[in-house]
Structure 1
Amino acid sequence: MKHVFSVLSVTCIAFFTIFLSTTNTGCKKGDDGAKGDTGTANVMYSSWLDVNFDPAVNTAGDTVAWTAEITAPKITKTILDSGTVKVYLNAGTAASPAIFPLPIADFYYALTGVENLNLYFTVGTINLYATQDASTFTSSGAKSWQYRYVIIPGGVHTGRSAVNWNNYEAVKDFYNIPD
């Protein structure tokens, strides 16, 4: 009886396999669409921004730090909870960039002239604080010390080795961010 049942099972499976492979199910491969432009997926970024720092003064009247805010309405609670926000400083000019990822610590002093330039994020705002005035300025008609932020939503997975966040050129190339 076991033998008859096994043969019957194998025969049924073979029959249904042949039947399904020869039956037209009405499915067909669709046409390939046109190739789209290379884009930045869900990545958002600002233009290069002019930022003005204000002195933070203690009760004795001494300047203890310099502070600034960048309004960034796309920084939502969801972005803060699961995304990434990077901020870059162009200490050079548009024609001759010298771009640094923030924060800047003491070892950058010789290059930027600022001992420390730190930041933190709140909903809609990038908060900056520095040990010296890190405001945007114009010299010989060229702006220096401009800031740009890049927002990557949590749904855009890059993997740990996909991009070097401390290299602005790598981030710009990876996400196709224009100058």
Structure 2
Amino acid sequence: MKTMNRIFSYSFILIFSISFTACSGSDGIDGAIGPQGPAGVNGENGINGENGVDGNANVIASNWLDANWNLTDNPTNKVMQISITEISQDALRDNTLVMVYLMQYGTSSIYTLPSAGRWSNTWYSFTFGSNSLNYDGIIITLKSTDGAALTEYQSTANRGNRFRYILIPVNTTSGKSSINYSNYNEVIKYYGLSY
């Protein structure tokens, strides 16, 4: 009899478990949606942040370029042309701030053209965006101011004479009058350029 009671109990538990697990929630009818609770209190508005610095996506900066007197190479007068392909000559001439810098050995200074550089008898200058085909791009001129022949220290690339241009479109310079564009370090820091 005990065995029979045990079989009956196990059978009942088994049938009950099967019938209980065979039912699913999707078999029933969904109840009505309850009432919506009251709206919460709006939080306080945050403080407006400061406007960020404009990016430098439109700023064009060359690498340091060796002096290469490819138009004129006289003892007292030297001229080199740097081709500009990143923007049109019209945009270069009419809508761009053009800065040219000079680096020379023997000094940690970087000079903004026009400048005498580190010498008392030289004058480095530049023009840009000419309408003449031979003078497109940036033209850098080096002249002796006392008539003496220019030395290799004053003119040659192997003595460290290098130039770098930075082209800043007009729309990128608006509102930035606080920048001293003649200060090379300030310009590269402001626009996030490499040294």
TM-score between the two structures when normalised by the length of structure 2: 0.56
The letter of the residue matching 2:126 is L
The letter of the residue matching 1:125 is G
Matched with 1:134 is 155
Matched with 1:163 is 179
Q: How many Å separate the matches in 1 of 2:56 and 2:73? A: 38
Does structure 2 retain, via aligned residues, the 8 Å contact 1:91–1:112? no
Structure 2: 5+ residue runs without aligned partners? 1-53, 131-135, 144-149
Matched with 1:121 is 128
Does structure 2 retain, via aligned residues, the 8 Å contact 1:79–1:154? no
| Secondary structure class of the residue paired with 1:155 | helix
The letter of the residue matching 1:137 is N
Describe the superposition over 1:17-63 as per-residue Cα deviations: whole angstroms up to 9, x where unpaired: xxxxxxxxxxxxxxxxxxxxx95231010011112226555xxxxx4
Q: How many Å separate the matches in 1 of 2:69 and 2:91? A: 28
Matched with 1:11 is none
Does 1:98 pair with 2:119? no
Matches within 5 A, 1:1-179: 40-53=56-69, 55-56=72-73, 63-76=75-88, 77-92=90-105, 97-105=108-116, 108=117, 111-112=118-119, 115-122=122-129, 124-131=136-143, 132=150, 134-138=155-159, 144-159=160-175, 161-179=177-195
- Offset at 1:162? 2.6
Higher strand share: 1
Describe the superposition over 1:75-126 as per-residue Cα deviations: whole angstroms up to 9, x where unpaired: 4212311211100011137xx6320001114xx5xx2365211111126521
Q: How many Å separate the matches in 1 of 2:163 and 2:113? A: 10
Does structure 2 retain, via aligned residues, the 8 Å contact 1:51–1:70? no
Does structure 2 retain, via aligned residues, the 8 Å contact 1:66–1:129? yes
Q: How many Å separate the matches in 2 of 1:120 and 1:135? A: 20
Percent identical: 26
Task: Count residues with an aligned counterpart.
Answer: 126
Does structure 2 retain, via aligned residues, the 8 Å contact 1:68–1:127? yes
Cα RMSD of the aligned pairs, angstroms, is 2.6
Q: How many Å separate the matches in 2 of 1:147 and 1:137? A: 13
The letter of the residue matching 1:164 is N
| Secondary structure class of the residue paired with 1:116 | strand
Structure 1: 5+ residue runs without aligned partners? 1-37, 58-62, 139-143
